[in-house]
Amino acid sequence: MNTAPPSLQNTRRGLAVLVPLLLVLLAACARVPEPRLFPHAPNDITARTEALLPADVILLGEQHDAAEHQDIQRQVIEYLAVRGRLAAVALEMAEAGTSTAALKSNSTQLQVQAALGWNNKSWPWAAYGPAVMAAVKAGVPVLGANLPAAQMREAMADSRLDQPLPGPALKAQQQLIRIGHCGLLPEDRISPMTRIQIARDVRMARTVQQAALPGKTAVLLAGSGHVNRTLGVPQHLPPGLNAKAVQLRAGPATSAPDARQEAESLAAFDVVWPTPAVPEQDYCATLKEKPGAK
């Protein structure tokens, strides 16, 4: 499990190790067709949400420290809910087995947090509460989708979790675990931690699959690594389920993505939704300064 706060730069660097050269060449030679890459402007929720439909599931992959991503999630949920097209909202931010299904649409935020077992230290309610409450007020269930913490140790020891991903994808996921832990994780912990990541994706996939309803769309809110088509939740969804994987990508605002970055996006996501850059933070430097980090 990648417990370090996500860094888009790190994710790109990790995936670049294994991106096929063919994708790079294709991206360099061809313009990305709409709606694969949404234009930087205008940031039109109506047009962009409609461009994702029809879909049984929309997987919105955020950068956790980009506030605009949580606002986009809220707006997409509101758009679908108002039109009666929202089946459910599933969350990486709450454990599987928790749900607001038994709550009334006028339930308070405290009641909703209690129903979801919300951990405000890990996931600030101020960031995610508006999207969650938009669904609750519309009478749409919000479901915890993440692997329960009590099951993580079991997942670490389950070698069957080495099988769901193809060999290159498994190696890519392992590399991202190394990067996400800033190179501080002992090598013998890489496989167990990768199994947790895969187990989380499997559980999220199961949750959204069960939440899907004919003629409506379930929405998953998760980090962009979880909605990556080559590594994450889409790998564990049945072929007949129409799922759209969206990367909410913060910046860089000053330069266009290069061919390699576009190749990664094309391989991993159905749609890239660019947003303004956020201030870069060196999470690894902070982590390495902690006593006993090595």
CA gap 126, 110 in Å, rounded: 12
pLDDT at 5 over 60: no
Domains of the chain in start order, with CATH, are 8-288 (3.40.50.11550)
Closest CA to 134 of 171, 100, 162: 100
**Which pLDDT score is estimated for 64?**
95
Q: What is the pTM of this model?
A: 0.83
pLDDT tens-place string over residues 206-227 = 999 999 999 999 999 999 999 9
DSSP 150-177: GGHHHHHT-GGGGSSS-HHHHHHHHHHH
Q: Are 244 and 271 in contact (CB under 8 A)?
A: yes
Side chain identity at residue 274, one-letter code: P
pLDDT at 233 over 60: yes
pLDDT tens-place string over residues 139-169 = 999 999 999 999 999 999 999 999 999 999 9
Share of the chain above pLDDT 90, in %: 70
pLDDT grade for 252, boundaries at 50, 70 and 90: low
pLDDT tens-place string over residues 101-149 = 999 999 999 999 999 999 999 999 999 999 999 999 999 999 999 999 9
